[in-house]
Amino acid sequence: KSKWGKLWGKAKGVAKKGAKKVKKALLKALKKKLAKEMAKSKGVDYKEMKAKVMAMDKAKVLQEAMKILGKKAMDKYLS
């Protein structure tokens, strides 16, 4: 599995009670993964970047993830 495939599996495993909870868990996991990727690419401390990403709203998180993942991958994981 790719790292994003593992992320999707983890989010589904965390919340098996309904679509809303799965999406919420996926967004939380996506924020953590996005913080790691952004910290790597910008050369910033992970904890600092995680704080910034966790403060972002859903639309901004998805926009940033789209830049890193690409539209095709985002459609796959958020459909």
Any idea which residue has 């924020």 for tokens? 31
**CA 12 – CA 17 distance, rounded (Å):** 9
Q: For residue 69, give the amino acid letter.
A: L
Between 66 and 15, the more confident residue is 66
Q: Considering the chain, what is the average pLDDT of its residues?
A: 76
**CA 50 – CA 31 distance, rounded (Å):** 8
Structure tokens at 24: 């919420």
Residue 2 has pLDDT above 90, yes or no: no
The pLDDT tens digits for 15-58 are: 555 666 667 777 888 888 889 888 988 899 999 999 999 999 88
pTM of the model: 0.63
What confidence score (pLDDT) does residue 1 get?
Answer: 53
Helix (H, G, I), strand (E, B) or coil at 79: coil
Give me the residue spans of the domains in the chain: 25-78
